[in-house]
Chains A and B, each alone.
Chain A
Amino acid sequence: MFFLLSVPLVLFSLGVVLARSPVRSALSLVVALFLLAVMFFLLDARMIAALQVIVYAGAIMVLFLFVIMLLNLQHEPVETARPGQRTIAGAFAVVFALVLGAVALRGLPTMPGPGVEVAVTPSFGSVESLAERLFTRHALAFEVTSVLLLGAIVGAVVLARKIPR
């Protein structure tokens, strides 16, 4: 089941980066986010799964597509990088991948293998347990998020409204 989801997930994630047309890129991201939500669902995090779809796939990505369509970007001309840039970036990427791979290889043997049931309380992933964490342990973060959104709204309005004469 995991591979049934994770392989397309990785493929669509790659699609986000590799697709030439911005619309296809955005759509790949939508599918990837949706698959991620399904993964959350299988991990018993039902609330998170639903929120993932509502917020990311349903709201944010629609706005993305909306903007792409308004600008009517069909095929963005690919910016040609400076000659050395690609090599250097590639080298960094390879090094980073190697480091992560090394970590994964070192960490894997200690991970519980498939078939090992991880004990999960019945309330795991429920709305109640999420609310409890959110409004006790992370109460400050919750409040700060509202400040963040308010600040972002003010900023967006300032930048987007008509220039006063």
Chain B
Amino acid sequence: MTTLAFPDVAWLPLLPLMVIGATALLVLVADLFSEGPDYDALGWLGLIGLIVAAVCAALLWNQSGSTLAGTLVLDRYGLFFTILFAVGSGLTLLLSMNYLETTDIRSGDYYTLLLFSTVGMVLMATSVDLIVIFLGLEVMSIAAYALAGIWRTQVRSNEAALKYFILGAFASGFLLLGIALLFGASGETLLPRIGEVAATGTGEQRLLVTIGAALLLVGFGFKVAAAPFHSWAPDVYEGAPTAVTAFMAAGIKAAAFAAFVRVFVDSLGPLAGDWRGALWILAVLTMTVGNVSALVQRNIKRLLAYSSIAHAGYLLVGMVAGGENGNAAVLFYLAVYTFMTVGAFAVVIALGRRGQPHEDLDDWAGVGLRSPFLGFAMTVFMLSLAGVPPLAGFMGKFYLFSAALEAGYVWLTVIAVVNSLVSVYYYVGVLVKMYMAEGGVEAEATSARPYLFAALVATLAGTFLLGLFPTPWFEIARRSVESLI
């Protein structure tokens, strides 16, 4: 019988991943012993695990290495995203602990699925093996499909889960075919090897890689909800439970971008001349479609969904610009966007009550005056999303667009800026409704929902911090992408 030489396992690169994975399993087991209807303890457990994982990742900042035959790497890029995902998922957990009380979701599995999804996200950001990246994407997505449909008694939640699942599976098909072509061209699924073939391969090899890249572009385009592959997003965002929507907008989008940037910059970089043009078109379409559609939305979750599409467009601008500045700007903006969008959804949750989600914009009339804190928070998030200084959203867009200008994409920058201006209309529209209209509903006092309050304070702090003192944070983002280029 032949004996296998098991590869040396360096455990350090696996540490954050294993912490989150272990937490997920712990929550799964703890769920067996916890009696409903209150599952806050599980939420705390998950939160602690995510914090530990983030701290581990931060402590590893100056380390580098790889493990398991080079499929998983320890670099700053991966660590940056690990921390970002831990923060995004942690904020979602905080939101959920109060949100679930207003729903019929009586299940500790909610937390387990959320943590599983986070495991997948971390894998997507830290792996350089296309197979593992794909598996990570599936781990993330399958948990997310289930989360979208977890409010079983709500028809629209079921609808969201089904739509998300079918279109997601379709997108996975594109990704897989792309991966297969890349494998066919290079005989490997490791990104560095594919990069070599893309740079120095024969004509046929490069042709295969190009087509593979096009298919990957479609696959990732689906996942980040870029036009014209965005059509699932509004329905899914609207139908999914609001906390899950926040998670999709922040975490899943960031994870998709993490893998997107890593694959395209790290290994398909030599073909940048080919895919930049396609991304250019995609960016313009995405921004425009997102912003123009958002103008006519009456449902706040749909509005935020289109806004999320538009933001994917801005992020694509950063990818088109490329280079250290462009990619660093993408990372920075993803961090900023996590805080802004989770915060905005937190306000949506704060306004809802049991059986009355209050997602219609008309319900929001006058809320700003009756609940000053919620009004203030929403003002900050809306203005930040619109890109008004001195908030984080402005700095994020500033870095993105200046990178595009530096790289010589004048027209793209002009279109992006015009789009930002258009977006101000609907973001401010929400504020106008909140402060200048009469009627609407009464919001529950935020002090009665401590977790939600904590989440709001955290996201507000993040939005201000990244807006007022952006330089050190941008520096971190720049360090993170150094290893890519």
Contact = CB atoms under 8 A, between A and B. Distances in A.
Interface in B85-139: 104, 106-107, 109-110, 112-113, 116-117, 119-120, 123, 127, 129, 131-132, 135-136, 138-139
B411 interface: no
A97 B389 CA distance: 49
A140 interface: yes
Contacts of A132: 2, 4
Given A136-B69, A140-B127, A147-B139, 5 more contacts: A103-B208, A128-B2, A148-B120, A148-B142, A151-B113
Interface string B384-409: 00000000000000000000000000
A135 B112 CA distance: 28
A141 to B, nearest CB: 5
A99 interface: yes
A136 B132 contact: no
B71 A158 contact: no
B129 A151 contact: no
B135 A145 contact: yes
B106 A135 contact: no
B431 interface: no
A159 B135 contact: no
Nearest to B215: A96
Given A139-B6, A147-B116, A107 B204 contact: yes
A155 B211 contact: no
Interface residues of B, number: 48
Interface of A: 99-100, 103, 106-107, 110, 128, 131-132, 135-141, 144-145, 147-148, 150-152, 154-159, 163-164
Contacts of B119: 147, 151
B106 A164 contact: yes
Contacts of A131: 4
Nearest to B28: A154
A154 B69 contact: no
Interface of B: 2, 4-7, 21, 28, 36, 67-69, 71-72, 104, 106-107, 109-110, 112-113, 116-117, 119-120, 123, 127, 129, 131-132, 135-136, 138-139, 142-143, 145-147, 149-150, 152-153, 161, 203-204, 207-208, 211
Contacts of A145: 135
A58 to B, nearest CB: 22
Contacts of A154: 28, 109, 112-113, 116, 143, 146
Contacts of B139: 144, 147-148, 151
A151 B5 contact: no
B69 A163 contact: no
Contact of A139 (B69, B145, B152): B69
A96 to B, nearest CB: 10
Contacts of A150: 116
Given A152-B142, A158-B113, A137 B28 contact: no
A136 B67 CA distance: 11
Contacts of A106: 203-204, 207
A144 B129 CA distance: 12
Contacts of A136: 4-7, 69
Given A135-B4, A164-B106, A159 B138 contact: no
Nearest to A131: B4
Contact of B135 (A107, A144, A155, A164): A144
A138 B152 CA distance: 37
A132 B4 CA distance: 6
